[in-house]
Each structure stands twice: as C-alpha cells, then as structure tokens.
Chain A
Amino acid sequence: MEVKVFERVHPREYFNLFSEKGIRPDGRSLTGSRKTAVRVGSIRTALGSAMVKCGSTTMLCGTTAKVINPTGAKVEFAPIDVNVELLPLCSAKYRPGRKPEESYHLQELVAQHVRRLVQPSSLELEFEDMMWSLSLDIYCLEDDGNMDDATLLVAMAALKDTRLPEILSSEEGYHVTKSRTRTVDFRELIVPVSFGVVDSRVVVDPDSSEEALCESKVTIFVDEKGSFRGLSKSGGSVTSKDLLSTCSKLAVQRAPALFSQLSN
C-alpha cells in the first residue's frame, strides 16, 4: 500500500510506526517543538500588532482601544475584549457561517489570561473615571495544530507592541493626539506550553494530524523565572501524576525559547 494512502486510512498506526522509535512523521523527536517566530508591528492601522508562526500554524493579532468610564469600583482585571476568528481559509475543519466552538474556546482562554497579566493601572487615564479598554482581534491564517499556544503568544506580543495615543484636555473637550507613546504594562509574562497525549506518549507541540489522534491535551503555564504556574487539561483520557510531571519538566525546558521570542 502506498505510504500516503496508509497515512490516510490508518492514521494511528502510521503515527505509531514513528513514535515507537521516538520520532514523529515530520522528523521531530517526541519532545521537540516546531520553529516558533514572533513578529510585531506589521499592521499600521492598529495600535499594536503581532504575528506568530509556530511551524505552519499562523496567528495574527491587532489591538484597538477605546475610552470607557468604569463605574467607580476599583478595576481588578484589565478591560480587554478578545475576538478570535477562525475562517474557512485556515483549515478544512471550519465552515463559513456560525463561529466554530474552537473560537469561543480561544476567546475565553486569551481573555482570562491577558486580563490577569496586564496591569489595569497602565490603562488608567489621568482624567477622572476614564480608562482605556483594549480590543484584541485575532485571526488564524493557518491552523496546523496547537492553536492555544500560538494564540496566547500572539495576544501577549500584540499587547506588548501596543502604543496608546496621548489624550489632552482643553476647553473644547478631550483631544486625542497622534503621538503614540504610552505602553501597556504587564504584571508578569506567562507562556503556555501545550502537549498532546497519544497512546500514553507525550508529544510536545502537536501539529494538526497529531491533534486528531490525541486522547487528551495538557497545557502548562510557565513564568519568566521558569516556575510552573498553572495547568489546564481539557478532558480526554485520565493522565497520571507522572505524566503531568513529565509535561511540567518539558514545559520548563521549552519556555525560555518562547520568552526570548516575545522579548524581541
């Protein structure tokens, strides 16, 4: 049987032929990640933008801002809205029309991540009861697996690249200047490292064919000092504590590369 046909008809057996030997169909080891690149500032019309390529998975993010009047109570989380668009162009999985479930998942993931990491005080304006509210528009240009990591990275990179305009007050009212000097400050940066579990083997940074075979997905959050900060496991089979600690160690190894990409 031809290799391509075998891959289509028996995807699991095809993958196992490689994983038994400790490698994957694209040549990576089980613990190897794809080349990740972060580029900022490509969209001139947005206040901040970034593009992340993790292998073939490409995410693009632009930020815009508007002024809001918070209702007086101290703002605990930064007001950031997230919109994730998964268009049919990025993968055959998504059809035109209703937003796929994945996009709601990514919206929730990014929103609750960045709202806690961005300092609300960096968005507060000098005028009474006014603050910036940011909107992130994230587009997937290609979905080749592990969108969770790419989306979180692109959101953080775009926020880091964001420069807010100055607002001056005069007798006529408020006046938005063209100067873009104000930055968005982070409490700290925390990156995600995602794993797939295929037949009880942990694979780092699964691509789309591996994701389809995964029995569960685990995401570990690591901070700049290299400490474990959180774990997210989205259903699937049961994972043992050993497997989770393996993931944790691998995540700590992978994190510095992601941080260095973000800081460029």
Chain B
Amino acid sequence: MKLDYLVFAWAATVLVEKANPRAQRSHSDASFTNLSDVDLTSMKDSVDLGDGADGLREYEQKRAAGRRDGREASELRALKVEQDFLEQCDGSSRLACGGTVVMAAVYGPIECPLKAQLSDRAIVRVDVKGASSTVSRSSKWLEKYFRESFEPVIATGMFPRSAIVIALQVMQDDGSVLATGINAGMMALVDAVVPLRSIVCASSVAMNSNHTLVLDPTQAEQGEAVVHATFAFESGGGLVSCKTWGFFEDERSFSNAASIAEQAAGKVQAFLQIASNRKVNESHSI
C-alpha cells in the first residue's frame, strides 16, 4: 500500500514538473486543492499565440455559431473522467467528452512475444474497438494513428524486450472520437504510471459551410462539416500529430483551426492534471 502511494506521488510530481507553462499558474502552488480555483475559461489570456492571435481574435468575433447544443464556437463539451476502475490492467480510464465516451486500459510494461521484441526498447501496441460490435476497417487504421501519437511520449527505452499495450474501446461516438481516444489513452497511461516524456492532449475542430470554425464537433456537426481535423499537442506546446478529413480553404484557416485546437488541448491537459492530482490527494489521505 505504501509503495503504491509512493509510486503515485512520483507520478504526480512527474506531471507537475512537466507541466505546461500555461497551466503552471493553477498548480505550481503546493497548497492547491480546490477545483474552483482553476478558471479554465480565462486560460487563453496566458497563451502566446504569435501569428495565430489575429486569426483567433477574428474568429472570436463571429462566435455566434448557432450550435445545436447551445455551445459557443470555442467551447469544449463537459469532460468527465474516471480512473483506476479495472482490476486486471495496470491503468484504466474512461473519458466522456459530452456524448463521446472512450474507455482505455493500459497493460505495461508486460512480456512481449519473442518475434515482436525489440532489443533496445518496448513496443507499443494499440487495440481499438469501435462502437459497433464488428471489426471495421477504420479501426485498424485508427490503431496506427493512436500508436504514432502515444509512442513518442512513452519512455520506451526504459523497458527493452517488453510491450506496452493500450486497449481503447469506443463506448459512444458523438463526434471527436479520435481526440477523446488520445486523451483517454493518455489518462490511462498516467494511471498505469508508465514513464512519459510529456503529456499529449488532442482536440478537434470542424469548419462548416458558413466558414465558421467550431471546436469539439458532435457527430452531426462532423457530418455537415466541409472539413474537420484532429490535432494532438504536446504539453510543452508543439504539434505531435494532425489528421484532416476534407480540405481547408487556405493556410490561414488551417492555422486558425490549429490555434483554436491548441488552446483547447491546453484546457484538456489542465483538466487531466487536475483529475490526476485529485486522485493522488485522495490516496494521500488513506
């Protein structure tokens, strides 16, 4: 029990040290425990967007996106996360982003079959099960995408000849499944205390026929979008991966979309860190 606590505390310090400078304000104080201290909506003021700032301002002005669920164009859906609820695996998480729910389980590092072993590092395997019961072609492609988003941040060099398996199950799909999957997987990796170089958070942006960019689109919004994209950013800032369906009009609309997504990814990361801290604080009190 004591060892578990120490390992968790180490994980929490790893997180705090690698904290996004934007989020530092909210948890660099050791006494922070109160969730209401964090004002996620005001976080955007502390971000230096550089060239994207003009685009963001311009897009903020035409915020009346008239979204079905009454959200503003730059508003994320409510995030809910549950951790450590599966017994057999090393780490688990269930992340709900509005109506999109993805469950992730992490086993690792574990024994790896001889044929697949690498001599200098661990292999990362991702298994994705879609919302429907049949194995679809798209879930195979998703496995590659997820693996390429997680692998760079996992310190695989620490576990030669092992495997780290991340199993993702899409419970409900209401848009932005890719982004939610990356966030859920990251949460499960943290829960499993897999050593990570940094945290990757993802968010998606859609552009509808009115040329309005909306953040975190629902299934319906994705369906009617001209183009939608999922971006994954690292905690230090910097694009890890990006996937677009459709084509943007020009470079400017793409960089606007990337700026909006980067903001949102910062908020998601702050949320994930709060959730982790909470969990550590709760085990503190045991």
User: Do A and B associate with each other?
Assistant: yes
Chain A residues in contact with chain B, CB under 8 A? Answer: 99, 101-102, 104-105, 107-108, 112, 116, 190, 221, 223, 227-241, 244, 248
Q: Contacts A235-B241, A238-B239 given; indicate if A101 touches B247 (C-beta within 8 A).
A: no
Determine the main DSSP class of A at the interface with B: mixed
Q: How many angstroms between the C-alpha atoms of A196 and B245 in the bound complex? A: 21
B145-169 toward A: CB 8 Å interface, digit per residue (1/0)?
Answer: 1011101100000000000000000
B133-146 toward A: CB 8 Å interface, digit per residue (1/0)?
Answer: 00001101101110
Q: How many angstroms between the C-alpha atoms of A231 and B232 in the bound complex? A: 13
Q: How far is the CB of A259 from chain B (nearest CB, A)?
A: 15
Q: Is B238 an interface residue (CB 8 A)?
A: yes
Q: Which residues of A contact B193 (CB under 8 A)?
A: none
The chain B residue with its CB closest to the CB of A188 is B247
Q: Is B250 an interface residue (CB 8 A)?
A: yes
A232 engages B243 (CB within 8 Å): yes
Q: Which residues of A contact B247 (CB under 8 A)?
A: 116, 190, 221, 223, 229-230
Chain B residues in contact with chain A, CB under 8 A? Answer: 50-51, 137-138, 140-141, 143-145, 147-149, 151-152, 227, 229, 232, 234, 236, 238-251, 254
Q: Which residues of B contact A234 (CB under 8 A)?
A: 144-145, 148, 241, 243
B242 engages A233 (CB within 8 Å): yes
A104 engages B144 (CB within 8 Å): yes
Q: Which residues of B contact A235 (CB under 8 A)?
A: 145, 147-149, 151-152, 232, 240-241
Q: Contacts A101-B143, A104-B137, A108-B137 given; indicate if A239 touches B239 (C-beta within 8 A).
A: yes
Q: Which residues of B contact A221 (CB under 8 A)?
A: 247
Q: Which residues of B contact A236 (CB under 8 A)?
A: 148, 152, 240-241
B251 engages A228 (CB within 8 Å): yes
Q: Contacts A227-B250, A230-B254 given; indicate if A101 touches B140 (C-beta within 8 A).
A: yes
Q: Which residues of B contact A229 (CB under 8 A)?
A: 247-250
Q: Among A99, A105, A108, A231, which residue has its beta carbon within 8 angstroms of that of B244?
A: A231
Q: Which residues of B contact A231 (CB under 8 A)?
A: 242, 244, 254
Q: How far is the CB of B199 from chain A (nearest CB, A)?
A: 12
Q: How far is the CB of B244 from chain A (nearest CB, A)?
A: 5
Chain B CB within 10 A, most for which of A190, A231, A235, A248: A235
